[in-house]
């Protein structure tokens, strides 16, 4: 009866109860070590044609494949991985597992649900910045829009949809009246939480062990809300930084990609956030702007027809051109410790779709750049089923490098070190 009360909108997750220590961050994070570290995750929904993305041989890369060629100037700051995936199936319906390793429909069977890489990092170090993370994408993509980021309670993180919206979030402050209203809302929400927590604790005294476990899960949900309230309250009176560019307009995904990358770079540079994710929904590509006649989805189902594969290459090359310019921006920007922002930022680029033509989710295209992955090499993982390395191993390594002392992530079997 209590759970159906005023806070009933907080769904009970199938999770172990977790606690927050005193101070910032979550248990298991070395906050001091993460002060200058950043993470950016970029994905598209249709994958890449394998021959366009993967180098033919393992080891040092001397020449990048066609789709990655625009990044040639950053070759020494890149690492390409092949034969990594999460072992999931479902085609387009499994793409959302790209950063979590877990399909949303199977989240209840996992200790941390389908918590994604970016959101785990945001849990750990997000309290140090105004925005724990930025999630950018479209709500109008194939199969429900941007679904790349998920919390440990199984909730999809809604995306910021365009450059104008992202600009305003980063640089435009609410008026004095709105700020007062926001502060009143923070206090009201906190009072409601306090009231419900007291009632929950009183109820807990009359429950058996199993029900108390379920109530602990409810406390976890409330604690998540409480943390968000505290985060927003902390920053509501702190002025936002002055923008170095004029407010852009929302146009279409093809034209917006460079602007979104630029704004992500500015957010990292002025320390508005240290965690960002960006999903490019292929269904939103206006391919006509790139001189093509059919849609991205149609080209991804190329049927091995060369004209379709050539069109697909045009779409993939454009994405890499934009990505390479983003790396240019990070390399030219300075981090708080005086090094280039690229040297302090771990950048993941890839997709939850391995083969768009066959709708398969294995052998995912994975490229790493920046901090920790400046090798200029192609790492080909073992192919036999009993020796395959989970992509989650790479994600666990990324978290550890950020200062998060987790010993597992999703289906990881260990870390993946170079």
Question: What is the distance in angstroms between the CA of the first residue and the CA of the last residue of the chain?
Answer: 53
pLDDT at 406: 96
Check whether residue 155 and residue 195 sit in a common domain.
no
Tell me the percentage of the chain whose pLDDT exceeds 90.
64
Residue pLDDT, tens place only, 343-394: 999 999 999 999 989 989 999 999 999 999 999 999 999 998 888 999 999 9
Q: Does the pLDDT value for residue 214 go beyond 80?
A: no
pLDDT at 49: 96
Check whether residue 132 and residue 44 sit in a common domain.
yes
DSSP 362-396: SS--EEEEETT----EEEE---SGGGPPBHHHHHH
Check whether residue 142 and residue 248 sit in a common domain.
yes
- Read off the pLDDT of each residue in 3-24 and give the average, rounded to a whole number: 38
Contact predicate 130/272, CB 8 Å = yes
Check whether residue 160 and residue 192 sit in a common domain.
no
Check whether residue 278 and residue 364 sit in a common domain.
yes
Check whether residue 142 and residue 264 sit in a common domain.
yes
Four-residue CA torsion sign, 286, 291, 295, 301 = negative
Check whether residue 380 and residue 315 sit in a common domain.
yes
Check whether residue 123 and residue 142 sit in a common domain.
yes
Check whether residue 141 and residue 110 sit in a common domain.
yes
Contacts of 39 (CB under 8 A, 6+ apart): 117, 118, 121, 274, 275, 276, 345, 346, 347, 348, 398, 402
Whole-number average pLDDT of the chain: 84
Q: Of the residues 195, 223, 239, which one is the last residue of a structural domain? A: 239
Q: What is the CATH number of the domain that holds 369?
A: 3.40.720
Check whether residue 331 and residue 225 sit in a common domain.
no
Tell me, letter by letter, the H, E, C secondary structure of 315-330: HHHHHHHHHHHHHHHH
Q: Is the pTM of this model over 0.85?
A: no
- For the chain, what is the total number of helices (H) and then of strands (E)? 10, 8
Tally of domains within the chain: 2
Check whether residue 96 and residue 145 sit in a common domain.
yes
Domain residues for the domain of 226 are 1-30+175-239
Question: Is residue 306 a part of any domain in this protein?
Answer: yes
Question: Is residue 344 a part of any domain in this protein?
Answer: yes
Check whether residue 179 and residue 161 sit in a common domain.
no
- Read off the pLDDT of each residue in 280-298 and give the average, rounded to a whole number: 89
Which helix (H) or strand (E) segment is 81 a member of?
Answer: strand 78-82
Q: Of the residues 213, 239, 265, which one is the last residue of a structural domain? A: 239
């Amino acid at each position: 009866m209590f759970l159906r009360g005023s806070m009933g909108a907080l769904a009970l997750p199938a999770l172990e109860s977790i606690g927050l220590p005193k101070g910032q961050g979550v248990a298991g994070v070395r906050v001091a070590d993460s002060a200058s570290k950043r993470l950016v995750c970029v994905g598209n929904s249709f994958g890449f044609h394998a021959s366009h993305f993967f180098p033919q041989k393992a080891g040092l890369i001397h020449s990048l494949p066609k789709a990655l060629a625009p990044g040639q100037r950053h070759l020494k700051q890149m690492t390409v991985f092949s034969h990594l995936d999460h072992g999931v199936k479902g085609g387009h319906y499994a793409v959302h597992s790209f950063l979590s390793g877990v399909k949303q429909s199977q989240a209840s069977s996992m200790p941390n649900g389908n918590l994604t890489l970016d959101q785990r990092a945001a849990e750990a170090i997000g309290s140090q910045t105004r925005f724990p993370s930025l999630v950018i994408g479209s709500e109008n993509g194939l199969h429900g829009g941007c679904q790349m980021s998920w919390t440990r309670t199984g909730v999809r993180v809604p995306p910021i949809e365009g450059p104008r919206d992202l600009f305003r979030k980063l640089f435009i402050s609410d008026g004095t009246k709105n700020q007062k209203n926001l502060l009143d809302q923070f206090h009201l929400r906190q009072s409601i939480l306090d009231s419900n927590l007291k009632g929950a604790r009183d109820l807990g005294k009359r429950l058996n062990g199993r029900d108390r476990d379920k109530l602990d899960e409810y406390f976890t949900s409330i604690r998540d809300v409480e943390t968000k309230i505290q985060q927003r309250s902390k920053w509501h009176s702190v002025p936002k930084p002055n923008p170095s560019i004029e407010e852009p307009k929302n146009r279409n995904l093809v034209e917006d990609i460079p602007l979104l990358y630029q704004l992500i770079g500015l957010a990292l540079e002025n320390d508005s956030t240290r965690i960002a994710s960006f999903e490019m929904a292929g269904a939103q590509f206006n391919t006509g702007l790139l001189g093509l006649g059919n849609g991205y989805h149609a080209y991804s189902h190329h049927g091995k027809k060369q004209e379709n594969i050539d069109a697909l290459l045009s779409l993939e090359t454009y994405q890499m051109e934009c990505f390479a310019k983003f790396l240019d921006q990070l390399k030219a920007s300075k981090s708080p410790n005086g090094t280039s922002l690229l040297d302090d930022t771990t950048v993941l680029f890839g997709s939850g779709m391995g083969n768009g033509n066959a709708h398969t989710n294995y052998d995912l295209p994975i490229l790493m750049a920046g901090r920790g992955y400046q090798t200029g090499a192609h790492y080909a993982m073992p192919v036999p089923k009993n020796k395959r390395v989970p992509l989650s191993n790479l994600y666990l390594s990324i978290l550890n490098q950020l200062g998060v002392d987790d010993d597992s992530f999703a289906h990881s079997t260990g870390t993946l070190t170079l």
